Amino acid sequence: MLLGIVLALLAGGGVAVLAERFGPMAPQRVALGTLVLAALLLAGADAPGVAAAWGPEWIHGEAYRWIPRFGIALLLGIDGLGLVLVALTLLLGGVAVLASWTEVESRPGLFHGHLLWTLAGAVGVFCALDLFAFFVFWEVMLVPMYFLIAGWGHEDRSRAAMKFFLFTQVGGLLMLLAIVGLVWLHRDATGALSFSFFALQGAATGSPWAPWLLAGFLVAFLVKLPAVPLHSWLPDAHTQAPTAGSVVLAGVLLKTGGYGLVRFAEPLFPEAARALALPVLAVGAASVLYGGLLAFSQRDFKRVVAYSSIGHMGFVVLGVFAFDAVARQGAIVQMVAHGLSSGALFLLAGAVQHRLHTRDLDALGGLWDRAPRMGAFALFFLAAALGLPGLGNFVGEFLVLLGSFRTQPVAAVLAALGLVISALYALRLLRRAFHGPAGPALATAPVPDLDRRELLALGVLAAGLLWLGLQPQFVLDLLGPATPVPLAGPAP
Amino acid sequence: MTAADLVAMAPLAALAAGVLVLLLAIAARRDARLAWAVTGATVVAALAMVVPAVEVAPRAVTPLLRVDGLGLLGVVLFLLGSLATVPLAARHLAARPGPVEEFPLLLLLATLGAATLALATHVASLLLGLELLSIALYALIAYPDRGRRPLEAALKYLVLSGVSSATLLFGAALLYAESGTLAFAGLVPAAGTGSVLTTAGLALVLAGLAFKLSLVPFHQWTPEVYEGAPVPVTAWLATVGKGAVVLVLLRLLAESGALARPDAVLLLSVLAGASMLAGNLLALLEDDVRRLLAYSSVAHLGYLLVALLLVDAAGGPQLGTEAALVYLLAYGVTTFGAFTVLEERSAPGARRQHGAALGSEEDFDDGARERFRGLFRRRPAVALAFTVMLLSLAGIPLTAGFVGKFYVVAAGVEGGLWALLALLVVGSGVGLFYSLRLVHLMTLPVDAPSGADVPGRGGWLLGGLTVLVLVLGILPEPVLALVRAALAY
């Protein structure tokens, strides 16, 4: 029932918009209920027949007619990778709703509608195995996210929303060109027009166009990830987005870029991916270092977390383009762990902003004394971000470094420096915001500590990180070899 | 001429008969409702006549016209466009003083011109259709709204359109001197033959048609006309008027084999690239929504030209033709929807309420971008419809515009036109920017209460067009199958 999940989220968004007139908290309840329903549908999505028909990796799969003119079908399926990311999407969606339960004052119905529609697009991206459908979902999640930032963001929201949309959209159009180019290469070779991922695997092998087509995909994925030098939309979008928007942006939307790299780059272009590995690895290592350094020099709470995301997602690039099974698994674990930890940090940043109306580190300070629970959670999640053993991020980064050191030692050594830098900016953020004497912003306003809803949301995320850090084997088993090349699928 | 020929021409005959009936009706009694009723009935009758015409298609009726699937599909689309114009224009004119019966008459004449263009296979019928369409438009632009700007727009259109027709005619004469025929098939000497006169003739013919399509550098009339003409006329001109010229250009290129000549391909490529880029960049600078839509149409015709460059490319069965038709359909529905929003936004009833004199300068400022600020709070249904139209113009998935753009990209990839596709990506990025800026403006809170709005839902026409744009975008297969079936004839 993967299509059911997408449709439930789309419909739930519509209901949330209408629910606004039935009471102040109705949209929030609808949104939460929809996410629970979607999670139940996901839990029920276990079709034993699929494994037999599609291949042992697949947990669930379904296909619908769509546009036979171009050989386009609505082909949806999840393996371990898809399942983990869809689950992460729904979990972070729930956390985002809980965290901003009272934050949204104007048009809460529309706000939660846009939130659910974004999540619907993201779930579609993680399930779609037809490249046309993938592109459609890819674009669909952008439009509501644009409205979330532009409509409910902070002071400079218009510009940030526009920048976000333009970057990702132009990247997406290049990907569309590459998709169509790949499909036509396949047609010229076989005579059949098909957008199915399974049919197109390796279709470009041997073609002089392959590196160019791969580059089209990579631009879209690296913009979304984001990687240096295509990252400049991210700090603005994160800083200006409302809390729930930031959580979903960092936790889910960035993962679509990483997912694209894992799922499509190597299986579709096994040769070209190796040919382009060196420049892409350089981009990954540069992202780790540059993101970390810039995170260290920011004054804005949210910008610190935003730049740290660039650094952490650099590890994903490294893990995918090391072409090593361990590194690839590490990249996926890193995506999940970063989704949880950065979601939590944006949530905390939002909580600070909501209480003190500033994110400026110079104005903060001494928060721990006033709001000890907030401080404790900040310490926990910053420790996760700096890669403390026992938490999920450590597992991801360690596996990436372990795997990539075997094949790409130089890039691995450079990226390992990023771990040092992340300790620096994480501890600096903790000291400037939570330790020391009370900052000027605290002088005027009372600082209520985290309430029950926020504690619940953060507690869930913390538990997830602990589980991922202490019991990584469960997720690693689920991922299996994480998309072997080529991936088996349904018969065309 | 046989009976089958007459059946094949029945849609045109129905339109012509309707024109005569309407003339007589106006002579007998001036009654706006009667005139609109006759117009609507004529268009419906012409649509009904398409059914028997399909039975005898494909068929060459005289050397001038060919009634085939492509032409009849065009005729149906143009008739539907005119039919949608009827309620829009009737309401627009209801608020104006003075007689209005000439409007439906001119509309029918222009529709007859468009239908002729859809079937034309000869320079003579091309000119006949083009002039029928243009001459009706001069009057349609100038006369319903009294004021300086419509007059200015009409005069500009008259002069430039006259020049372009003459250019086209001169080009055709040069080609005739080379090839000895005026039929599309054989009009252009094959590649490698023909003197410099052929290139000159081709350039002149293409320039004449490019003017009607407002391709860069022949686009200067577009913003003035879009801004000055009554909104229903602009809606018709932007969809049916341009669509008819696209169809005749498609036929000219496909039948004459001009695309086998490198000089023709170069000329068309330059027109396409310049239009995509300049159209989008100029739209970026506009503060008036009507002028913005004008420049955006320049860019969209540039995208369409990419498909037209491939109408007879070998390989896939006619992907260029199919792409051009699907794009035309998607763009037509979307553009008509956008202008319906503009009309809805500035319904004359609303303007009269807030006291602006009809025909005054203020009356014509309705397209100003600032007037759309906060539309979501004041008229959510209209704002939602406009958002759908703008996203479709920008080519976002799940709208008709995306299906059209996808087709053009697929055709371009098939034909290997990578440079033009790169320009398409850049142009789309810019196009997205100004579309979103407008959408964002509508979501902002209103600073001061604006008197120019009446509450309302936007009517069934706008609702229907919005649904159509979404259905075309989400489940395009039935329409694609229809287009393919028509092309297979």
Q: Which of B203, B195, B163, B191 is nearest to B177 (CA)?
A: B195
Q: Computed from CA positions of residues A165, A237, A175, B277, in that sequence, does the dihedral angle turn out positive or negative?
A: positive
Cβ neighbours around A249 below 10 Å, total: 25
Report the pLDDT averaged over residues B439-466. 71
Cβ neighbours around A24 below 10 Å, total: 10
Report the pLDDT averaged over residues A228-254. 89
Q: Above 60 in pLDDT, residue B173?
A: yes
Q: Above 80 in pLDDT, residue B454?
A: no
Q: How far is B445 from chain A (nearest CA, A)?
A: 10
The type of residue at B141 is I
Tens-place pLDDT, residues B383-398: 889 999 999 999 998 9
Structure confidence at residue B336 (pLDDT) = 96
CB B116 within 8 A of CB B132: yes
Q: Above 80 in pLDDT, residue A486?
A: no
Inter-chain residue contact B409 with A165, CB threshold 8 Å: no
Q: What is the ipTM of this complex?
A: 0.88
Tens-place pLDDT, residues A201-227: 888 888 888 999 999 999 999 999 888
Chain A residues lying within 8 Å of B476, measured CB to CB: 67
Report the pLDDT averaged over residues B86-90. 91
Cα distance between residue B267 and residue B386, in whole Å: 35
Q: Above 90 in pLDDT, residue A489?
A: no
Structure confidence at residue B186 (pLDDT) = 86
A-B C-beta contacts closer than 8 Å: 64
Q: Above 50 in pLDDT, residue A389?
A: yes
* CA nearest to B413 within chain A: A181
Inter-chain residue contact B440 with A158, CB threshold 8 Å: yes
Which of A140, A147, A180, A187 best tests the B interface by mutation, with the highest count of B CBs <10 A? A180
Q: Which of A301, A267, A285 is nearest to A182 (CA)?
A: A267
**B136 — pLDDT class (breaks 50, 70, 90):** very high
Structure confidence at residue A479 (pLDDT) = 83
Report the pLDDT averaged over residues B98-109. 90
Chain A residues lying within 8 Å of B436, measured CB to CB: 146, 162, 165
Structure confidence at residue B248 (pLDDT) = 95
**B456 — pLDDT class (breaks 50, 70, 90):** low
pTM equals 0.91
Tokens of A486: 């080529």
Chain B residues lying within 8 Å of A177, measured CB to CB: 409, 413, 421, 425
Q: Above 70 in pLDDT, residue A484?
A: no
Inter-chain residue contact A67 with B477, CB threshold 8 Å: yes
Q: Which of B290, B354, B297 is nearest to B153 (CA)?
A: B290
With b for 16 or more beta-carbon neighbours within 10 A and e for fewer, the A131-147 pattern comes to bbbbbbbbbbbbbbbbb
H-helix or E-strand spanning residue A77 = strand A72-78
Which has the minimum average pLDDT: A433-447, B29-43, B202-216?
Answer: A433-447
Chain B residues lying within 8 Å of A170, measured CB to CB: 425-426, 428-429
Structure confidence at residue B317 (pLDDT) = 57
Structure confidence at residue A370 (pLDDT) = 83
- Average confidence score pLDDT of chain A: 88
Structure confidence at residue B25 (pLDDT) = 93
Tokens of B56: 């005898």
Q: Is B396 on the interface with A (CB under 8 A)?
A: yes
Report the pLDDT averaged over residues B399-422. 92
Which has the minimum average pLDDT: A76-80, A477-481, B361-365, B484-488?
Answer: B361-365
Report the pLDDT averaged over residues A10-27. 88
Q: Is A161 on the interface with B (CB under 8 A)?
A: yes
Q: Is A190 on the interface with B (CB under 8 A)?
A: no
Tens-place pLDDT, residues B332-382: 999 999 999 988 876 544 444 444 444 444 455 566 777 788 888 888 888
Which has the minimum average pLDDT: A12-21, A139-148, A362-371, B236-245?
Answer: A362-371
Q: How far is B410 from chain A (nearest CA, A)?
A: 6
Tens-place pLDDT, residues A155-174: 888 888 888 888 888 899 99
**A253 — pLDDT class (breaks 50, 70, 90):** very high
Structure confidence at residue A238 (pLDDT) = 87
Can you tell me whether residue A78 is helix, strand or coil? strand
Which has the minimum average pLDDT: A33-47, A80-94, B301-315, B357-371?
Answer: B357-371
Which residues have a Cβ under 8 Å from the Cβ of A376 and sit 6 or more positions away? Answer: none
Structure confidence at residue B353 (pLDDT) = 42
Chain A residues lying within 8 Å of B437, measured CB to CB: 162
Cβ neighbours around B96 below 10 Å, total: 16
Q: Above 70 in pLDDT, residue B30?
A: yes
Q: Above 80 in pLDDT, residue A259?
A: yes
Structure confidence at residue B304 (pLDDT) = 95
Q: Above 50 in pLDDT, residue B455?
A: no
Tens-place pLDDT, residues A279-312: 999 999 999 999 999 999 888 888 999 999 999 9
Inter-chain residue contact B409 with A176, CB threshold 8 Å: yes
Structure confidence at residue B450 (pLDDT) = 52
